[in-house]
Amino acid sequence: MNNIINHHHAIFAILFIMVVYVLYNIYEQYYNVNDNNFEHLSSITNQPYLYNRQPNDVILGGKLTIGNTTIDSSGNITVGQQNKQNIMINSANGTINIGGTIIDSTGNITLNQNGQINIGNGNVLLTPNGIITKPGIYNSVGQNTSTNSETQSTSQSTGNVSVIGIYNTPTNTTNPLQIGQIAIYDTNGNQIKVSPNDVKSSPPAYGTLSSTPIDGTLSARSFPNIFHGMENPVDPNTFYEIGLPQPQSIGSIVVYGRSDCCQERMASYKLAIKDTNSNIIDSIQLSTAYTQKYTFDGTKLSLSN
C-alpha cells in the first residue's frame, strides 16, 4: 500500500514540475520584457521593435496618454479633447499649433481667423489681419474711435504726412485755443497751400472762423482775426487740424499766436503730425512764443527758434 501511495506522489510531483515549466515558458515568451524577447513582444503590440532601447525607456503602444494630453509616435502633443488639437507641437517642422494659431521655428506667429493676441488684459490687441488696436483709439479696421482727436498711437514714417494738428492736453481745462496762423512748408521750403475745406476743428467761439489761420497772413494777430476755441469750460478734446491736399513730405511748420493777449494759453497745447492712417508720427508741446517754428526730419519734430 505504501508503495502505491509513493508512486502516486511521484507522478503528481512530475506533473506539477511540468505545469510550472510550461507556465514559466509562457511567461518568458509573452510577458518578460528583456532584450532577448522584446522583438516578439513588439509583434504582439503591433509596434516597431526598439533596437536601441535604453534601460529607462518607456514604450506604451507608440503613444503616451496622460488625462486628455497625448504624445503620439510622430512627436505631436495634443492637449484637450480628441481631434481638437488645442496645442500641437510637431517635431518634424518645429511648429506650435494653438487652436489654429501657428508659431513656426523662426518665431513667426500666424493667427487663425478668430485668433488675437491680448496684451495687458485687453489694453493692446493684435488681430489676425495684423492691426494693433487699443480700446477707444482704433478699431479692427483702423478707424479712429477716440473722442479726442489726438490719439496716442505711434507710427514710423518716411516723411509722408497727411495731417497737421494742434490738440489740447489732458490737464488743460482753463486755457482756450487761440491761433493766428499756421504755415506748412515742404522739404524745399515752399509753402503748401490749403483751403478751408482742408480744415477740421472744434467749434470756434466769439464769431471767429476756422478758416482764419490758413488765409495767408504770416504773423501773430489780434482778436478777432484768429481762431478762438470755446471756453468756460474748455473742451478737453479741443483740436484744430489741417489735412494736406495729398500726403507728402514736409520740412517745417510755423505756428503764429495771438498778439494782443493771453499768448501763454498756447503752451497748453501740442503740435502733432499724422500719417494717412491718422497715426501720430510725432508731437511736441507748444511754447508761449508769438511765432514758433518747428522742423521735421521725417520722424521727429524739433523747435528751431
Per-residue pLDDT of the chain (305 residues; tens, 9 = 90+): 555 555 555 566 666 676 666 666 655 555 444 444 444 444 444 444 444 444 544 445 567 776 667 777 666 777 655 444 455 555 556 667 666 677 776 667 776 655 556 555 444 556 555 545 444 333 333 333 344 444 444 444 445 899 999 999 989 999 999 999 999 999 999 999 999 999 999 999 999 999 999 999 999 999 999 999 999 999 999 999 999 999 999 999 999 999 999 999 999 999 999 999 889 999 999 999 999 999 999 999 999 96
C-alpha cell at 48: 516597431
**Beta strands per DSSP E along 108-152:** 109-110, 117-119, 124-126, 132-133
Cβ proximity of 274 and 280 under 8 Å: yes
- Kindly list the domain boundaries of the chain, sorted by start residue: 2-31, 63-115, 121-145, 161-303
Model-wide pTM > 0.75? no
Cβ proximity of 168 and 174 under 8 Å: no
- Residue 246's pLDDT is what? 92
- Cα dihedral value 271, 275, 279, 118, nearest 10: -160
Cβ proximity of 281 and 157 under 8 Å: yes
Q: Is the dihedral of CA 275, 279, 284, 285 positive or negative?
A: positive
- Residue 76's pLDDT is what? 72
- Residue 68's pLDDT is what? 66
Cβ proximity of 44 and 38 under 8 Å: no
C-alpha cell at 291: 511765432
- Residue 117's pLDDT is what? 64
